[in-house]
Amino acid sequence: MSFVDAVKTCLRKYATFNGTATRPEYWWFVLFNFLGSLVFSIIGILAIRGLWSLALLLPGLAVAVRRLHDSGRSAWWLLTGFIAPWLIILLCLETKVAGNPYFTGESTVKPVGTVTEADLKATSSYCATCGKLRLPGQEFCAGCGTRFSNG
């Protein structure tokens, strides 16, 4: 997700506290908010900086709540903001797909390494060297590293 896309998404979901937000979406918006505050501080217009902060308070809280939802946590974890390093760690956690009550299926993150029974076919074979199951599309044995023949 690009900087512009993340900011547009956060501003479009101005006060949307349900759903999820990816790590890039959250951190790009934090950078946008920081840069805007920095520019208004350098210029010296405190009134506009105050309006900027006030205008972005609600979308900032909303994207933080959605980011916590993406990692499988409740919005109540924002109260741990008094322990700043702990909240930063929570906001940096990966997307949690399995067992996440907040996950709506809109994330582009796919679980890696998940194999179901539907993936196994009757043509699946076993490694002749170590006996480990060969999965479809596998060229080398995950157990011993033996290269499978094409047949």
Tens digit of each residue's pLDDT, the chain (151 residues): 788 998 999 999 999 898 888 889 999 999 999 999 999 889 888 888 889 999 999 999 999 999 988 888 888 888 887 777 888 888 888 887 777 787 766 555 545 556 565 665 556 677 878 888 877 777 888 778 888 776 5
**What's the CA gap between 116 and 121, in Å, rounded?**
11
**Amino acid symbol at 40:** F
Q: What phi and psi values does residue 17 have, to the nearest 5 degrees?
A: -100, 0
Q: Which of 51, 50, 9 is nearest to 26 (CA)?
A: 9
For the chain, what are the domain ranges?
3-92, 115-151
